[in-house]
Structures are given as structure tokens and as C-alpha cells.
Amino acid sequence: MTTEGGAAWTLQAVAGPVPAGDSALLSTPIAATVPGEVHTDLLAAGAIPDPFDGDNESKLAWIGSTDWVYRTTFDWAPDGQAVQELVTEGLDTAATVTLNGTQLAQTCNQHRTYRFDVTDRLVATGNELVIEFASPVETAKKLAETLGLWPHTNKHAYNAIRKMASNYGWDWGPDLATAGIWKPIRIESWSGVRIASVRPLAAGDGTLTTHVALAWSDGAPDTTVTVEVGGATAGETVAPGTTEVTLLATVADVNLWWPRGYGDQPLYDVTVTVAEDNWTGRVGFRDITLDVAPDKDGGPFVLSVNGRPIYVHGANWIPDDAFVTRLNRATYETSIQDAIDAGMNLLRVWGGGIYETDDFYDICDEQGILVWQDFLFACAAYSEDEPLWSEVEAEARDAVTRLSKHTSLAVWNGNNENIWGYVEWGWRAPLAGRKWGEGYYFDLLPKIVASLDPRTPYSQGSPYSYDHFIHPNDERNGTMHVWDVWNQVDYSTYRKYKPRFVSEFGFQGPPAWSTLTSVVHDVPLDPYGEQMLVHQKAYEGNLKLERGLGDHLPLWKNIDDWHWTTQLNQARAIGYGIEHFRSLFPLNTGAIIWQLNDNWPVVSWAAVDGHGIRKPLWFALKRVYADRLLSVQPREDGLVVAAHNDSDEVWTTQLLLARRATGQGGETFARESITLEVPARSAVTLPVPASLVSLDSTHEYLEVRGGDGSTAFWYFVEDTALLLAADAYTSVVTPTDDGYDVTVTATALAKDLALFPDRLDPAARVDSCLVTLAAGEQHTFHVTGAAAPTEVGVPVLRSANDLVS
């Protein structure tokens, strides 16, 4: 019996608060898909509405408080093998496994693989496998009561159970606690010896150290274990009962693997053979180090690959769907391509999610995206008592064993914000001296990584300053999370920080109009409407969107302006922050924005929304994450042009700086030319000549243009005081073979032009956004996936001008 072999599964409610209208679920099974989840099975059966739509999230809360049972029957024909094992790669989460009336196990960890010997329990016909899942909500509650209440964020005690934390709801995700057989399940038959696991660790000198774990049955003879890679082979004969063998093979003239932007990503096939069993995979040869040693400015955070420091252009990654069994290689490829196209070279798999499937890491291996992998602890204190300690240890060993082969894996990180939480979030009083997770981050996890994946750096947490006596979120040391911006202060505060490395920071904005209105049906549509607030999970989120406008943009006049204004403000805030961080190079060595993706349609910090539409923020990231970035920055002695060259070529161009009028014709009042030369992987700042500093800031601006097409703009006042022409541009629509073009011609400064074709057709996608044109310039937006309209205007074609003029 395998999940791919046609076994028919059913799903049935066992006990819990099933609504009267759905009470038949207590007596009548429905068809189930394995791998799958209760919610997706109920949805496929037409038993529930779309959990993402309207306020269905709260209407379906009963599902997470109900016990469920999966059943299947199958025949078994003996195949002469000595051992039969039931292998469950993922049970979510509190499961009782019974075969033919005999209980095999009770499990309580979503993140582990289990094997059960069923050799003497199979019959020829009518085997019945039953897996009952206790309510994930009630189980977490009971475990918390048993262990004791440890501080945590959000509603449910997710820190009491080894289950995806965000599955219980987060400040960007729905509270849809799932249950189910979420990964493959099968029966494996074998005799003699089998491969239990393989850890092929490839180093930059061409050496592959392959650790092969073995399992044996009775009567097995001596066995030869071999590994082949890149034309090199190694082997060893081992006696029965040997649990692990380590083989060394060296590839001559090896081609090194590099992150994108630094070189190619060659991968080598690996084959391990043991008797009749074999394992295949791919590796890339590289060395990765992490430098956090104190220096004159505090303590850095520098990732190096093959001896070369990497400036990180990164994003935090959350589970790409609230129902993770709907993810596959194609969905991962699409979302990771969003990161690649935005100029990113690292994704951080955040600790409130999951250890992703191998598809995710395979794609990162192939595309040169470094992976920072959190262990699964987030925003909470965790008991170090049994049974949690043993569960964490087994889970971590599983994860490191499975993922260590991936070339892209660059950092193992102990937790998200828990060290910071202990220091500053008021945990110590309720903990009353109890252990809170420190033993995991400073003892257990680093030992496991050192033992199983010594080639990959380990970090105790994020943020962390790499010293017990320094505040964990100190800007001068290690990694920093910047959350006072968004939560309390204006985004201009970014310039007050000089962080060595920013591993979390973000600013909210709504999803695409078509995404939002597909699930929010308030009449009239309003930022504070009932369903709108269902799809805004952050505390006082829409109030913070309003407050966050500050003096940057005016308060909206209608819902269309609310949508455009808050999307624009999100993009500007993050662009502002990253431009500042990059202007500090080499003091600053990277940034990881919160967040790349969404797991449902929601107002959030994501750059790409839950329907896969790239928000204006994404286009801002593409600009500020480009290898070469120009920006204008204020310094104590005046304005400077900051240029960061994160490429292997010298950047040389002639910069033309001009002080111009914002109004019709765009008169130039002063002009200067400066030669820019920036060595590879370096940064320079050049003073802006005094003649270019505005004398009448309300209708003048500074533009910087390089001969290579690079640009930067500086505005002497915020848009609320800037005189922008209302009639600054015209547009023409032209049909094309795959959609249409919209060509915009500016007659005055047209600031932050954006086209939203999804407002006309949700399938439409546009190639550019946030385009600023000086008088006389043109830009063509190319739209695919939709037929051409006769014309476009507000709210499809927007700019900052139509908000403030």
C-alpha cells in the first residue's frame, strides 16, 4: 500500500463541535486525498465553503476543534522480503495509528517521519489502516495545561505542540488549524540491509563526505557500500549490524557552486549503493562561513561563499499556502522566481512555518538562492521538559539529516525572536525561573548541527548579537529586526539606524485590487469594513496604515485612493530603508525583508500577494535590490549620491545631476556632471554640489541620471507639500499579440506611475511599476494575459500626482 498506489481513503468526524448543518460528517465518511488535510478534503467534497472567502474563517473554526479519522483498506501480497514497515513521512499532528485493530503508535509531531514494523500484522486481504487525529486546537490547549503555560504570541498555545505555529493564525495568516496525513505514507518491504539515510556533504576542495546510515534484518551477509560522484568512486565493505559508514570521494578539477550574481550553480549527481538498495541525489561543491567576530564597530554578520563575502538581498519566506498540501514543485518554482526576478539571493525559511519539501531546496540549489533555515521556534517561550525535549531532538535530527545535502543551505538558525522575547517582552515574571528554550538554542541544536552538518554555519537566533552580555537586538552587533517602524514610528526612522545586518523589517500594504475584492465583499468597501478586517490580521493594522502615511502622502478620499495610497506608501517605506542600508556598505552586509509571499488573500507585509500578483512593493524591491544602486542620501554635511556596486565589474559612468521644476515643461535650473567610478563589490558617496540644493523646495526636485541608465531622485519636501501637476501625462493603449501596451508620455514630473490591469481582468499582469518620468519622457507598460481596453485612467493608471495635485 502506498499513497501513489490507488489506496482509497475516507475521512470522518469523530467528535467535536460539528455544526448541526454538518452533523452528517459524524456518521458518513467522505472521500479523502492522501497526502492532504481535513480542510481540503471537506472543500473538495463540497461540505464547506472556501475558508479564505469573506468571514468563513471564523465560521469554520469548528474544524480545528474536532477529532477526525482517516481510514483505508488494502490487500497485501507477500513478496518474499523479510521486513515490512509502515512509513509515515508526515502526520499532522496528534495521531493514533492502528492497523487491523492493533495500535501501532501515538504521535504528536508534524515535523517527523515515523517507521513502524508491521511484518507480523499484515494479512492477505482486507487490511484496515486507521489514523485518528485529535483536535489540533484542543490538543495544544491540553498540552499547555499539562506542561504549564509558557508565554506566546497570538491566541493558541502553539508553543506546546510540535506543529506549524502559523497554522493557528498569525498577524498575516488565518486561524485554520489543520489535521491530516500531510505527507506520503507507504509500506516498504526489504531484506538484508537498507539505506536508512544519506548525508552527502560536499566541500569546496572537491571532497564529498558521504555518511550512510544502515538498517539490517536477520541473516544479512557482509555488504559493500559505494558512492559515485563526478567520476570519482569510494566504497567499503561492512559487517552486519554496522549502523553508519562514512565514505570519502574527491572530484578532480571540481567546479564550485555559487549564489546567483557570483557565479554558476553546477550540481553533481550522487549515487549510493548498498546491496539491492540505492539512493540518488545531487550536490554542489562550496564552502560557507559566517563571521560574527567583534570588530571596531561592534560585531558583523558576514556570510561568505568560497571565501567571498556575500551582500545579502533577501526575503523572509512563510508557508506559501495556508493549506500546505496544495504546494508542489510548480508552485515553488513560481514563488522562488518572484525572488529571483526581484534580484534576491537569499530566502529565510521562518521559524513559525515548516521545513519545506525537497522541491523548495532543490530549486534554490539550481537557481543559486541561499537558504537561511530556522529551526521551528517563533515568538514564544518553550518548555525544555519531556516530552517536548525529546520531540525537538528527534525533529531536529530528522530535519538536518534530510536537508544537509542541499548546496543552497547557508545558515541553520535556532529561533525567531525568542531570545529577544525573553530579554524584553515581559516573559521572566510569568516564567518564574522555568527554562524557556535557551537549552535548545545554545546547547541541543548547535550540537546536532555540529554533528550532522558541520559545513553549515549555526546561529543561535534572529535577532542576536552573538554575546550574552549585549542586547540581542542591538544594531551594532549581529542581526537586527526593525519593528518600531510600522508599529510605532515613521519610516524615516530607518535612517536613524546603522545596522550591521537586518534580518527582519517590513511595512504593510493591501494585496492587488482583484485579490482583495475576491474575498472581501463589504458594501460599501471600506478599510474598516467587517470582512476587510477579517483579512487584516495585524493588531490595529489598518490604523497603522493610516498613521504610517505621516507627512508622506495625504489621507485618502475614497476606497480607490486608500488602496493606491497604502500600496505606494508600503513600497516607498521599504525602498527608503534598503537604500539607506546599502548606503552604509560595508558596515551593513545585507537585508532580509519581511516578507516575500502570502499564504492567503490578506493585507500584509508581502511583496507578492496570495494570488501571486506582484504588488508595487515587489517592483520597488527589484529596483533597490539591483546589483547597482544609486540613491541620494542626507549626511551631516549635506546631500550625497550613494552608489553601491554589488557586481564583479567596475561601475563607471558619467552622472548628470539636475535641479528641475516639477511643473509643465520641467525647466532645469542648475546642472552638474560628475564621474562615478565604483570598484567591484564596493560603495562610494559623492557630495551633491551646492548649486543643486533647492531654493524653492515646493516645486523643484533633484534628478540623477547615469549614462548607463541608472537613476535616482531626491525631493526636498514630502509629497503633501510638493507641487505636482494634475495633468502631467497622457496615455495611449496599443493591442499586442499577448496583451497590450500602455505608453505614457510626461509633460511635467510624473511621479510613481503605476498600472493596475488586474482591475480590468484578474488574469492580467504588468511588467513594470513605480516609474517616475521627467517632462518629455515616455514609458511603456506591457500587459499580458488580457485583452486591450480602449483607454485607461484612474483607478487603473495611477501616480502620486493624482493623490496630491
Please determine, for residue 149, whether its predicted confidence score (pLDDT) is greater than 60.
yes
CA atoms within 13 A on the CB side of 380: 26
Residue ranges in 490-558 assigned as alpha helix (H): 513-519, 530-534, 541-547
- For residue range 789-802, list pLDDT tens digits in order: 999 999 999 999 99
Using alpha carbons, select from 373, 377, 466 the residue that is nearest to residue 415.
Answer: 377
Please determine, for residue 546, whether its predicted confidence score (pLDDT) is greater than 60.
yes
CB atoms within 10 A of CB 485: 22
Pick the CATH number of 729-804 from 2.60.40, 2.30.30, 3.30.460, 4.10.280: 2.60.40
Please determine, for residue 519, whether its predicted confidence score (pLDDT) is greater than 70.
yes
Q: Look up cell 559487517; give the residue.
A: 239
For residue 23, the model assigns a pLDDT of 83
Please determine, for residue 619, whether its predicted confidence score (pLDDT) is greater than 80.
yes
CATH architecture of the domain formed by 628-715: Sandwich (2.60)
Please determine, for residue 656, whether its predicted confidence score (pLDDT) is greater than 50.
yes
Q: Which fold has domain 9-188?
A: Jelly Rolls (2.60.120)
- Per domain, the residue ranges of the chain are 9-188, 192-283, 298-506+574-602, 628-715, 729-804
DSSP state of 375: -
Strand-strand pairing, 207-216 and 244-250: antiparallel
Pick the CATH number of 298-506+574-602 from 3.20.20.80, 3.40.50.920, 3.30.590.10, 3.40.50.10140: 3.20.20.80
Q: Who contacts 362 (Cβ-Cβ below 8 Å, separation ≥6)?
A: 282, 329, 406
DSSP assignments along 571-624, one per residue: HHHHHHHHHHHHHTTTS--EEEES-S--SSS-BBS-SB-TTSPBPHHHHHHHHH
Strand-strand pairing, 185-190 and 83-88: antiparallel
For residue 1, the model assigns a pLDDT of 41
The C-alpha angle 33, 39, 44, rounded to 5 degrees, equals 55
DSSP state of 423: H
Kindly state the percentage of the chain with pLDDT values over 90: 96
> Phi/psi class of residue 726: alpha, beta or left (left: φ > 0; alpha: ψ in -120 to 50)?
alpha
Mean pLDDT on 371-398: 97
Mean pLDDT on 420-448: 97
| Residue-averaged pLDDT of the chain | 96
Mean pLDDT on 472-476: 98
Identify any residues that bridge with 714 across adjacent strands, giving them in sequence order.
702
For residue 364, the model assigns a pLDDT of 98
- For residue range 20-75, list pLDDT tens digits in order: 888 888 889 999 999 999 999 999 999 999 999 999 999 999 999 999 999 999 99
Q: For residue 490, give the C-alpha cell.
A: 515613521
- Record the pTM: 0.96
CB atoms within 10 A of CB 161: 26
- pLDDT band at residue 6 using 50, 70 and 90 as cut-offs: low
Residue ranges in 453-529 assigned as alpha helix (H): 484-487, 513-519
Mean pLDDT on 662-672: 96
User: Hey, what amino acid is at 67?
Assistant: D
User: Hey, what amino acid is at 179?
Assistant: A
Could you tell me the CA-to-CA distances from 447 to 8, 148, 459, 462 in Å, in that order? 43, 27, 12, 18
Please determine, for residue 78, whether its predicted confidence score (pLDDT) is greater than 90.
no
C-alpha–C-alpha distance, residues 685 and 584, integer Å: 10
The C-alpha angle 456, 458, 464, rounded to 5 degrees, equals 145
Q: Who contacts 607 (Cβ-Cβ below 8 Å, separation ≥6)?
A: 315, 338, 342, 593, 595, 596, 597, 614, 615, 617, 618, 621
C-alpha–C-alpha distance, residues 691 and 707, integer Å: 21
Strands of 651-661's sheet, edge to edge?
668-678, 651-661, 700-706, 711-715
Q: Look up cell 507585509; give the residue.
A: 605
Run of H or E residues at 15: strand 9-15
C-alpha–C-alpha distance, residues 468 and 299, integer Å: 13
Assess if CATH 3.30.540.10 describes domain 192-283: no
- For residue range 188-243, list pLDDT tens digits in order: 999 999 999 999 999 999 999 999 999 999 888 999 999 999 999 999 999 999 99
Q: Would the CATH topology of 192-283 be identical to that of 729-804?
A: yes
Q: Who contacts 268 (Cβ-Cβ below 8 Å, separation ≥6)?
A: 202, 229, 230, 251, 282, 283, 284, 285
Using alpha carbons, select from 341, 260, 312, 376 the residue that is nearest to residue 612.
Answer: 341
For residue 362, the model assigns a pLDDT of 98
CB atoms within 10 A of CB 648: 12
- For residue range 669-727, list pLDDT tens digits in order: 999 999 999 999 999 999 999 999 977 789 999 999 999 999 999 999 999 999 999 99
Please determine, for residue 2, whether its predicted confidence score (pLDDT) is greater than 50.
no
